[in-house]
Structure 1
């Protein structure tokens, strides 16, 4: 088995263990044996991977999106995980537009303070990054609300 396959199988196992084997069976409709094959490192199961709908169901119940995180790492993508999801509670697109304006204003305020002396320090960069990630969360929520409203 290649290193990518092995890496994904390890994270699949972590996901199943995070949720619990019995609960994972219920959530996915798969047997214990089938779930075990998805993360088995034996040669006979090297080409078996958990279907994406099963991963999504398990990650919704898990404390951390293990497989999604692994896929992001393999692509060199930084993932920001925020279990709080402040912007996800209702409101729809109109609330998202307001939140987007507020977050953007906060980002610009942080930028203004950071650039006043002509140098962005490490702490200032961290604050800018936090604001950028918060803005990204609002955009993701807005995208989801727009897709929901358009039936996509």
Structure 2
């Protein structure tokens, strides 16, 4: 088995163990044996990987997105993980997203105004701006997901 396959299987195993084998079976509709094959390093199972819908179901229940972070890492992508997911309220909709968006943008502009006051943006000020920009991006992603949900399309 190549290094990438082995790496992904180890993270798949971590995901299943994070959720628990019985709950993982319930969430995915797969048997213990099938789940075990997805992370087995035996040569006969080298080409078997967990389907993406099963990964998504398990990562929703897990404490950490093990497989997604592994995929991002091997592709040189950095993810920002926030277990709070403050803007993902079940009752949230586009209207609440617009409110959150305007609030976040106002906070970004206030931070920028304070940072540029002396004409120089320090490293700490840049970090605060980056943090606010990331929060704004998170709200935009949630808004995009709500718009897709309401329109019945994936963009």
Q: TM-score, normalised by structure 1?
A: 0.93
SS at match of 2:81: coil
The equivalent of 2:15 in structure 1 is 15
The equivalent of 1:100 in structure 2 is 101
Q: Does 1:134 align with 2:135?
A: yes
Large movers: runs of 4+ above 6 Å: none
Following the alignment from structure 1 to structure 2, what is the Cα–Cα distance between the partners of residues 125 and 34? 48
The equivalent of 2:43 in structure 1 is 43
Deviation at 1:20, TM superposition (A): 0.6
Deviation at 1:10, TM superposition (A): 0.8
Moved more, 68-77 or 109-118: 109-118
Following the alignment from structure 2 to structure 1, what is the Cα–Cα distance between the partners of residues 7 and 123? 33
SS at match of 2:49: coil
Following the alignment from structure 1 to structure 2, what is the Cα–Cα distance between the partners of residues 114 and 5? 46
Aligned residues, how many?
Answer: 152
Following the alignment from structure 2 to structure 1, what is the Cα–Cα distance between the partners of residues 75 and 105? 28
Deviation at 1:116, TM superposition (A): 2.7
Give the CA RMSD over aligned residues: 1.3
Unaligned runs of 5+ residues in structure 1 are none
SS at match of 1:84: coil
The equivalent of 1:69 in structure 2 is 69
Change (3 A) 1:91 1:21: closer
Following the alignment from structure 2 to structure 1, what is the Cα–Cα distance between the partners of residues 79 and 65? 10
Following the alignment from structure 1 to structure 2, what is the Cα–Cα distance between the partners of residues 111 and 87? 23
Following the alignment from structure 2 to structure 1, what is the Cα–Cα distance between the partners of residues 123 and 42? 46
Moved more, 108-117 or 72-81: 108-117
Deviation at 1:3, TM superposition (A): 1.5
The equivalent of 2:82 in structure 1 is 82
Q: TM-score, normalised by structure 2?
A: 0.92
The equivalent of 2:146 in structure 1 is 145
